[in-house]
Amino acid sequence: MKKGMKMKKYVILTNDDGIHSKGLKILYNAIKDIAEVFVIAPAIEKSGASHSLTVWDVIKVKKVKFEDTYAYSVYGSPADCAKIALLTLAKRKPDLLISGTNHGPNICQFILYSGTIGAAAEGARMNIPSVSFSVDNFNPDDFSFAKKIIKKIIKLVFNKKIKIKKGTVLNVNIPYLNENKIKGIKVIKAGNIEYKEMYKVQKKKKILFFRHIIGKKNPNRKINNDAQALMKGYVTITPLKFDFNDYDNIKQLKKYFKSNASVMGGDNKNRKSFLISL
């Protein structure tokens, strides 16, 4: 690199739909002119993998051709991809980890199941600014508007107009609409929207086969969460922080056990007896 030239931002790109997904290619092409991009993704679709890791098995990784570059195809989870990149394969600490573009939204309670968000959460856990992108369509043909939004948001992150705190994932969902029908961008909380859901069960010989079915959501509600805003035509941005502590209950329980020390028994023998009985 010549003296005085700025080093390009270094980005790790991954997903949960797999190395061959259209959304991954669109995301790569959206940012390759503004960043140096390292691509690593599951070899097969891993939707719903959440933040799972491969624990006992060996993970196979192959270098494969990807668009106008090379990528790494991983026989593991999205979070495996993020971890392997950050600990071994990436040539330096990245400025950003991006997961997506997911085929289908990652909103409300479904963020818990998302492999897209799981990969981004692993980046955030390792103190890398992380963003997840999703489009509100499970079989999108046209990513042209999503590509514009993605590039715009990434530029804002690079220019520090959008600051991502340590341990936070910026979760972005994009409506699958023509550009002139988009109502704007809403920074909004994740909701807990009601869905009709059930399992369809089939029996073949002595084996039961279960298929999870989700019914339609109700769009006729006041916009106060990500799911409702997305349905109304807004691009949604939801900062997610993965702190599982219930601080109110911690305070309440501390207070209880402090003021009721006798509950634990007056001596070590009684205390041990109490703990065994729990």
Question: pLDDT confidence of 150, banded at 50, 70, 90?
Answer: very high
* pLDDT exceeds cutoff 70 at 266: no
pLDDT number for residue 132: 97
* CA 22 – CA 33 distance, rounded (Å): 18
State which fold the 9-244 domain adopts: Stationary-phase Survival Protein Sure Homolog; Chain: A, (3.40.1210)
Residue 205 has pLDDT above 90, yes or no: no
Which pTM does this prediction carry?
Answer: 0.85
Residues ≥6 apart with Cβ < 8 Å to 91: 10, 38
Residues of the chain with CATH 3.40.1210.10: 9-244
Give the 3-state secondary structure percentages of the chain, helix then strand then coil, rounded to 5.
30, 25, 40
